[in-house]
C-alpha cells in the first residue's frame, strides 16, 4: 500500500521551517522576559540566540526571504494570544464573561502587561517621554482593573 500525501516536499519543508523559527523565537523571548524579571535561565540565552539565528537562516533558505516584520510581531504580541482565546469561546461564554466582568478584567490585565513591558524598555533606553506615557498607561490599566474587580464583585453578588 502506498501512502499519498497532499503536501509536497517543498510545502513540508516550509511548514517545518516556520514551526522551527516560531518555536525558537518564542522560546528565546520567553526566557529573555523571565531573565529580565529576575528568573529564567540567563546561561541559556546565548545558545537560544544562536538557535534562533540558525532557524531564521533555515527559514530564509526555504522561503527565499527572512520572516516578515508582521510575522514576528504577530508571534510576539501578547494581544494576539488574548484574541485567539476570545475567538475560541462560544457566544454563550462571551456573553457570560462580558456580563460578569471577566472580559473587562482580562482587558485591564492586558493593558497593565503592555504598559509594564513599555516601562522596562523605556527605562533601559532612557526615554523619559516614553516612560511617562507608559506610566500613564499603567495607572490607567490599574484603574480599569479595580473598576473591573468592583463590577465583577457586584455581578457575582447578584447570583
Tell me how far CA of residue 104 lies from CA of 101, 125, 136, in angstroms: 5, 32, 19
Average pLDDT over every residue of 16-31: 97
Tell me the pLDDT tens digit for each residue of 110-154. 999 999 999 999 999 999 999 999 999 999 999 999 999 999 999
Q: What is the pLDDT of residue 81?
A: 60
**Is the separation of the CB atoms in 110 and 79 below 8 Å?**
yes
Average pLDDT over every residue of 46-70: 97
**Is the separation of the CB atoms in 21 and 71 below 8 Å?**
no
Q: What is the pLDDT of residue 108?
A: 94
Query: Mean pLDDT of all residues in the chain?
Result: 91
In this prediction the pTM is: 0.77
The rounded distance, in Å, linking the Cα atoms of 45 and 32 is: 7
Tell me the pLDDT tens digit for each residue of 24-57. 999 999 999 999 999 999 999 999 999 999 999 9
Q: What is the pLDDT of residue 83?
A: 64
Q: Give the rounded percent of residues in the chain with a pLDDT score beyond 70.
A: 92
Q: Where are the domains of the chain?
A: 7-76, 78-159
Find the length of the chain: 159
Higher pLDDT, 84 or 110: 110
Q: What is the pLDDT of residue 3?
A: 53
Amino acid at each position: 500500500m502506498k501512502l499519498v500525501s497532499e503536501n509536497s516536499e517543498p510545502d513540508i519543508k516550509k511548514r517545518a521551517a516556520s514551526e522551527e523559527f516560531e518555536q525558537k523565537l518564542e522560546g528565546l523571548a520567553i526566557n529573555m522576559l523571565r531573565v529580565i524579571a529576575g528568573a529564567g535561565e540567563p546561561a541559556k540565552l546565548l545558545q537560544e540566540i544562536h538557535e534562533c539565528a540558525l532557524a531564521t537562516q533555515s527559514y530564509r533558505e526555504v522561503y527565499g526571504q527572512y520572516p516578515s516584520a508582521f510575522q514576528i510581531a504577530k508571534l510576539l504580541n501578547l494581544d494576539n494570544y488574548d484574541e485567539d482565546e476570545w475567538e475560541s469561546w462560544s457566544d454563550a461564554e462571551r456573553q457570560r464573561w462580558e456580563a460578569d466582568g471577566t472580559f473587562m478584567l482580562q482587558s485591564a490585565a492586558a493593558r497593565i502587561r503592555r504598559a509594564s513591558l513599555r516601562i522596562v524598555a523605556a527605562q533601559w533606553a532612557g526615554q523619559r517621554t516614553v516612560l511617562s506615557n507608559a506610566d500613564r498607561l499603567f495607572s490607567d490599566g490599574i484603574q480599569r482593573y479595580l473598576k473591573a474587580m468592583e463590577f465583577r464583585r457586584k455581578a457575582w453578588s447578584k447570583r
